[in-house]
Structure 1
Amino acid sequence: MLKGIDPRLNADVLYVLRSMGHGDTLIIADANFPSDSVARSTVYGDLLRMENLTAGQAVEAVLSVMPLDTFVEDFAARMEMVDDKDTVPPVQEEVQSAIDAAEGRPRPMIGIERFDFYDIARKSYAVIQTGERRFYGCFLLRKGVVGPDA
């Protein structure tokens, strides 16, 4: 255990989060996402796991140490529901709440069509697979910067 570090973050996840740079993207995936095959195409190349967590819990833990990008509209995204892109299911509402809490203000995610999401995920820095079993528990987070001390 480390002081000040969320215990839900394992060593592999912490290594990748620290390795990422400004603008790099991270995929938080549900249990049904083709995480292993997609992860092989990413910069990191190996699948990370946080299998004992929901998507909301994983995002909350990640955002406890990783800032979101403030310069772009696609700082965070959700996989849209097939044939119902405007519906936001409860799993996505939970992640939106985690993002808003981390940001200290409402900051809505954008939606990405399912197959476009797969393509974007393959170009991401890394994929973390959670234990989330609810459908459409797949998200993109774009890393921001930690500014200098005032």
Structure 2
Amino acid sequence: MLYGIPNIISPELLKILMEMGHGDEIVIGDGNYPAASNAQRLVRCDGHNVPEVLNAILQLFPLDQYVEKPVTLMQVVPGDKAETPIWGTFETIIRERTGKSETFEMIERFEFYDRARKAYAIIATSESALYANLILKKGVIA
């Protein structure tokens, strides 16, 4: 254990966050996300939900301040009636941790998958909410 490191951050995840450089991306996937088949590096966070993982990561991880939208969400597939109240939770966490609002870029499902395959790592959670997948672009610490 270490001071200041949220206990949800495993040694493996901490190492990955440390290895990442400016502009690298990390995906936090919900329980339905095909993480294992798409990841270059897979981190399991079974038993945890996306908001708690996001909150913990943003205590350590700067979002890219040089892009307009450093957080990417998967758009709801046209015709899908799924509701996305979890996006409001994400927005609240990001605003509280970074002071930024309106940070979301929305991209189509298969574009999201293609981009996620290029991400530095994918975190697999047990989140049950639909469309609860995010891509975070790492910034710099000045």
- Separation of aligned partners in 2, 1:141 and 1:73: 12
Per-residue CA deviation, residues 107-138 of structure 1 (Å, 9 max, x unaligned), is: 33111111100000001111001110111010
The answer as to whether partners of 1:99 and 1:107 remain within 8 angstroms in 2 is: no
Residue 56 of structure 1 aligns to a residue whose secondary structure is: helix
Correspondence list, 1:125-140, <5 A: 125-140=120-135
Residue 31 of structure 2 aligns to a residue whose secondary structure is: coil
> Number of paired residues?
141
CA RMSD for the aligned pairs?
1.6
> How far off is 1:91 after superposition?
1.5
The yes-or-no answer on 1:63 pairing with 2:58 is yes
Residue 33 of structure 2 aligns to a residue whose secondary structure is: coil
Q: Which runs of at least 4 in structure 1 moved beyond 6 Å after TM superposition?
A: none
Quote the residue 2:104 is aligned against.
Answer: 109
CA distance 1:88–1:69, change in 2 (3 Å): farther
Q: In percent, how many aligned pairs have the same letter?
A: 36
Per-residue CA deviation, residues 27-84 of structure 1 (Å, 9 max, x unaligned), is: 0000101100100xxxxx2310112221111111111100000001231011111116
Quote the residue 1:42 is aligned against.
Answer: none
Quote the residue 2:88 is aligned against.
Answer: 93
What's the TM-score once normalised by structure 2's chain length? Answer: 0.93
Quote the residue 1:18 is aligned against.
Answer: 18
> How far off is 1:2 after superposition?
1.0
Per-residue CA deviation, residues 73-102 of structure 1 (Å, 9 max, x unaligned), is: 2310111111169x9711221111111111
Gap runs ≥5 in structure 1:
40-44
Quote the residue 1:78 is aligned against.
Answer: 73
